[in-house]
């Protein structure tokens, strides 16, 4: 049975944040709220967690996970940025964007695109997520929590608990969140290309 942890959305309680992170460090799978709906997350090196996410969402081996970061410094360790990308992405984060960029050697080969050697990264505008990631000290391997029979991510902790009580380890409840996907910007070719318009304003990248 999953543990439900209620964390204040504006002032996350350090004791509860530590408890969630301890579960992640022990190999746990987390369902957590972001600025674009609920997501599933585990540590980058947790192969079992990755497979559990695939099974829950019924994803094939070609699915590309997102690496969720707490700040720009953490993001910069995972991807290569030229000056224009650095300025534009720094100005847009934290926020509801996912950026596809060339991966550095810090990213495990299995998580990068097999041909393009790229990876998707984002910094959610969520104090709870940022607190969890700061305590963890590393990015989360993550995937939006959209169940196979649904088209949008879940937005309420009780819904997540009802559907996934026996298949995840911890569910974070920080109040209801909005189910609006991120805007995806592909910068892998050296210039921005908006490949999906979502909650983030695409104009700075058009």
| Higher-scoring residue by pLDDT: 147, 115 | 147
CA angle 79, 80, 86 (to 5 degrees): 100
Which domains does the chain possess? Answer: 3-205 (3.90.870.10)
Give the pLDDT confidence score for residue 21 in this predicted structure: 98
Instruction: Work out the pLDDT band at 98, boundaries 50, 70, 90.
Output: very high
Instruction: Work out the pLDDT band at 184, boundaries 50, 70, 90.
Output: very high
Which of 186, 111, 105, 101 is closest to 143 using CA atoms?
A: 111
- Looking at every residue in the chain, the average pLDDT score rounds to 93
Indicate if the pLDDT at residue 109 is higher than 90.
Answer: no
Indicate if the pLDDT at residue 202 is higher than 90.
Answer: yes
Indicate if the pLDDT at residue 20 is higher than 90.
Answer: yes
Instruction: Work out the pLDDT band at 80, boundaries 50, 70, 90.
Output: very high
Give the pLDDT confidence score for residue 114 in this predicted structure: 78
Residue 35 DSSP code: B
| Higher-scoring residue by pLDDT: 113, 97 | 97
> Where do we find the tokens 């902790």?
157
Which of 116, 122, 115 is closest to 189 using CA atoms?
A: 116
User: Over pLDDT 90: what percentage of the chain?
Assistant: 81
Does pTM top 0.75 for this prediction?
yes
């Amino acid at each position: 049975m999953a543990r439900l942890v209620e964390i204040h959305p504006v002032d996350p309680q350090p004791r509860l944040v530590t408890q969630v992170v301890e579960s992640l460090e022990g190999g746990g799978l987390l369902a957590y709220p972001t600025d674009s709906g609920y997501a599933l997350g585990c540590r980058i090196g947790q192969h079992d967690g990755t497979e559990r996410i695939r099974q829950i969402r019924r994803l094939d081996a070609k699915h590309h996970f997102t690496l969720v970061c707490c700040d720009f410094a953490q993001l910069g360790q995972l991807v290569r940025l030229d000056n224009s990308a650095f300025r534009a992405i720094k100005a847009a984060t934290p926020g509801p964007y996912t950026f596809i960029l060339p991966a550095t050697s810090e990213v495990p080969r299995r998580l990068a695109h097999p041909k393009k050697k790229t990876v998707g990264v984002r910094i959610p505008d969520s104090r709870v997520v940022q607190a969890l990631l700061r305590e963890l000290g590393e990015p989360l391997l993550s995937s939006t929590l959209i169940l196979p029979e649904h088209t949008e991510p879940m937005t309420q902790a009780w819904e997540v608990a009802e559907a996934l009580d026996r298949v995840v380890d911890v569910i974070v409840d920080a109040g209801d969140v909005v189910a609006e996907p991120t805007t995806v910007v592909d910068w892998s070719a050296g210039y921005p290309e908006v490949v999906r318009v979502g909650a983030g304003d695409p104009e700075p990248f058009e």
